[in-house]
Amino acid sequence: MRLVRAAVAVLMLAGATLGTAASTAGAAPAEGTRAAACPTGWGSGAKTGATVRSDHLEDIRTGRHECYDRIVFDVPGGGDQIGYHVQYVDRFYADPSGAYIPVAGGAILDIRVGAWSYDVEAGVPTYPGKVGEALPGVNISGYTTFRDTRFGGTFEGQTQVGLGTRARLPFRVTRLDDRIVVDVAHSWTS
């Protein structure tokens, strides 16, 4: 009988422990602990999405997240068909002139988005970037990964931006309605 009581007591204790673990699994982490696991596996190789149509770039903005820094290219009317090509390069050159544009940082992402930065028919800019200069209205001071931004210009329906990063880090590109999003991770591991 003692053996049965001992076995029941052990099972009850184990059940209580499992119940407590299950109830705290979804709870918010304690202060000072990481709230989310950072994604890995993005890689640092070139990423391309075919251009189906070309609209007009109207804004470039950035944001800081727990695991990555983000740059967003707003192309109203582009839907989910905006083309892109993003890759690390040794040096940043404006297309088609081939002019070298210095970009600060340990690595440089050459970002090309399938959108004009000016309205060809009206002859007016839709995005106020100047070739070789930092992106207007974009302040990346205090960012973990981003170090510099440079406008490369627009040629044949593609706008080019040089993004200086702390190092060659994994990144992903997401095509959403009316925008292209580039996230660059803070590190190779979570």
> Which residue type sits at 94?
A
**Of 37 and 20, the one with more pLDDT:** 37
User: CA 158 to CA 108: how far, in whole Å?
Assistant: 18
User: CA 12 to CA 117: how far, in whole Å?
Assistant: 68
Q: What is the pLDDT of residues 89-123, one digit of tens each?
A: 999 999 989 999 999 999 999 999 999 999 988 98
Q: What is the pLDDT of residues 152-171, one digit of tens each?
A: 999 988 999 999 999 999 99
With beta carbons less than 8 A apart as the criterion, state whether 135 and 5 touch: no
Confirm or reject CATH 1.10.1040.10 for domain 47-185, answering yes or no.
no
Identify which of 21-25, 56-60, 94-98 has the greatest average pLDDT. 56-60
Q: Apex CA 81: angle with CA 169 and CA 159, to 5°?
A: 60
- pTM for this one? 0.80
> Which residue type sits at 60?
I
User: CA 157 to CA 72: how far, in whole Å?
Assistant: 18
Q: What rounded mean pLDDT belongs to the chain? A: 84
